[in-house]
Amino acid sequence: MTTRAPAIAAHDLIKTYPGDVKALDGMGITVEAGTVFGLLGPNGAGKSTTVKILTTLARPDSGSAVVAGHDALRHPDRVRRAIGVVAQKSGADPVATGRDNLLLQGRLYGVRGAALTRRVDELLDRFDLADAAKRTVRTYSGGMQRRLDVALGLVHRPEVLFLDEPTTGLDPEARSAMWEEIARLKGDEGLTILLTTHYLEEADRLAEHIAIVDRGRVVAEGTPDELKGQLRGDAVQVELREPVGPVEAQLLETALAEFAGVREAVLDGVRLSARADDGPAAVPHILAVLEREGAAVASVTVARPSLDDVYLRHAGRRFAEADTTLVTAGGAR
Ligand code: ADP
């Protein structure tokens, strides 16, 4: 359909940090121009390291990265001019006004005069910051600061915009406002967006194409629907009253798999995740096996496959459980 070259083409990226931490282990993505591409993975998966390499802030040990038609390793300066970066940490100066931040950013990229003022006004309007334009940024709410960060990334009209975990730390209201902003950016002619996130829902809502990253490489990719479509059948989730040890879990998984309608039963602690051609029909069988084995059930749900199920299938564990921050922050979800 499209004859334009990909906006991002990265292959076989390896990156090792001191202490033998393999942050990237064969990472590769191809992002079509004019699309929103989501890099989805738990904390520590390697998303930020990938973004650092693509935005020329880090070099891989090996592999290749072409961004907006320029080789990120050989011509980092050309790549920098063609991209906008919204990092996890705000780059805005807290003691300057929102407007001055935008003007300064524009000048850094060589935008000047009337063109710059026009662009800054347009962005202040678009990100609903016009009323706050003359206030210092430190008086902004978290959501306003984040919107300013995105505006800063857009001043020089980049071809590719990198959004690194754009809604991390925002309250639910500011998060959904930011989702609306990003969805509107999709409409911008030609703009390609690479979004990293550890929120399944965020990737599902915003990205046309998703690469699921685990331990430094892509374990699955496709449109959200394609990824979910790979998992035929229903997802049956059973929550047990007591956690089950690994040996017992294995026995239960084997017993459950004997029923023809059940596939991929995985028991992890108190949570049993199974796939079934016909979810409702499989529930009585699953409950009977659990009862026979003495595992008391707290709840049962049957649902269409989610991205969490896709992740489980490819990474062998639940998304939230792989996410060290979420787990230490008080239990997975
Ligand atoms: P994500 O963005 O998906 O959370 P990162 O790319 O930040 O993942 O991290 C990937 C792995 O590399 C993690 O194990 C992380 O601890 C490690 N890592 C990232 N940056 C550094 C660094 N500067 N020094 C050492 N290890 C790092």
CATH of the domain at 146: 3.40.50.300
Q: Are residues 220 and 265 in the same domain?
A: no
pLDDT tens-place string over residues 102-131? 999 999 999 999 999 999 999 999 999 999
The secondary structure of residue 137, as a DSSP letter, is: G
Segment among 73-82, 110-119, 165-174, 300-309 with least mean pLDDT: 300-309
Ligand 1 atom at minimal distance to the Cα of residue 19: 25
38 three-class SS: strand
pLDDT for residue 252: 87
| pLDDT value at residue 228 | 79
Of 148, 208, 219, the C-alpha closest to 183 is 208
- Strand 83-86: give its sheet, edge to edge: 83-86, 160-164, 192-197, 36-40, 209-214, 217-222
> Total structural domains in the chain?
2
Query: Does residue 119 share a domain with residue 94?
Result: yes
Same domain, 44 and 25: yes
Residue 281's pLDDT is 86
Task: Tell me, yes or no, whether 161 and 59 share the same domain.
Answer: yes
> Tokens standing for 246?
């690994």
Q: What's the CATH number where 240 sits?
A: 3.30.70.2470
- Residue 167's nearest CA partner among 193, 201, 138 is 201
Which position has the higher pLDDT, 208 or 3? 208
Tell me which residue of 228, 159, 177, 205 sits closest to 38, measured CA to CA.
Answer: 205
Q: Residue 75: which residues within 8 A CB-CB, separation 6 or more?
A: none
Residue 248 lies in a domain: yes
Q: Report how far apart, in Å, the C-alpha atoms of 153 and of each of 80, 91, 145, 180 are.
A: 11, 10, 12, 17
**Does residue 332 belong to any structural domain of this protein?**
no
- For residues 284-306, give the mean pLDDT: 88
Q: Are residues 14 and 140 in the same domain?
A: yes
Give the model's confidence band at 317: pLDDT under 50 very low, under 70 low, under 90 confident, else very high.
confident
Q: Are 321 and 332 in contact (CB under 8 A)?
A: yes
Pocket test for ligand 1, best of 13, 25, 48 (most atoms within 8 A of CB): 48
Q: Which two tokens stand for residue 154?
A: 């857009």
Confidence of residue 322 (pLDDT cuts 50, 70, 90): low
| pLDDT confidence of residue 17 | 95
Which ligand 1 atom minimizes the distance to the CA of 196?
Answer: 2
Per-residue model confidence as pLDDT tens digits over 17-58 = 999 899 999 999 999 999 999 999 888 899 999 999 999 999
Among 14, 21, 215, the mutation site with the greatest number of ligand 1 atoms within 8 A of its Cβ is 21
Which residue's CA is the nearest one to ligand 1's atom 20?
49
Indicate whether 104 belongs to any domain.
Answer: yes
Is 264 found in the same domain as 184?
A: no
Residue 113: Cβ within 10 Å count? 7
**Which pLDDT score, from 0 to 100, does residue 328 have?**
33
Contact yes or no for 2/32 (Cβ under 8 A)? yes
Range of the domain at 269: 232-304
Shared domain for 256 and 123, answered yes or no, is no
252 and 202, same structural domain? Answer: no
Residue 320 has pLDDT above 90, yes or no: no
The protein residue with its alpha carbon nearest to ligand 1, atom 25, reads: 17
Residues 87 and 199 in one domain: yes
Find out whether 199 and 245 touch, Cβ atoms under 8 Å: no
- What is the per-residue pLDDT for 326? 40
Quickly list DSSP for 169-210.
T--HHHHHHHHHHHHHHTTSTT-EEEEEES-HHHHHHH-SEE
129 Cβ neighbours under 8 A, 6+ residues apart: 98, 123, 144, 147, 148, 151
Q: What is the pLDDT of residue 181?
A: 87
Answer yes or no: is 111 within a domain. Answer: yes
CB distance 325 to ligand 1 below 6 Å? no
191 lies in the same domain as 290:
no
What number is the average pLDDT over the span 277-285? 87
Matching residue, tokens 């703009």? 191
The token duo for 50 is 């990938």
Tokens of 318: 């639940």
Reply yes or no on whether the pLDDT at 312 is more than 50.
yes
Q: Which pLDDT band, with edges at 50, 70 and 90, does 280 fall under?
A: confident
Assess if residue 312 is contained within a domain: no
89-103 tens-digit pLDDT: 888 999 999 999 999
Same domain, 162 and 216: yes
- What is the structure's pLDDT at 306? 76
pLDDT-derived band of residue 82, with 50, 70 and 90 as boundaries?
Answer: very high
Report the atom number in ligand 1 closest to the C-alpha of 43.
4
Residue nearest to atom 26 of ligand 1 (CA): 17
User: Helices (H), strands (E): how many in the chain?
Assistant: 13, 13
In a domain, 3, yes or no: no
**pLDDT grade for 198, boundaries at 50, 70 and 90:** confident
In a domain, 121, yes or no: yes
Is the minimum distance from the CB of 84 to ligand 1 under 6 angstroms? no
Does 331 reside within a domain?
no
Shared domain for 212 and 287, answered yes or no, is: no
Query: How large a percentage of the chain has pLDDT more than 90?
Result: 56
pLDDT exceeds cutoff 80 at 232: no
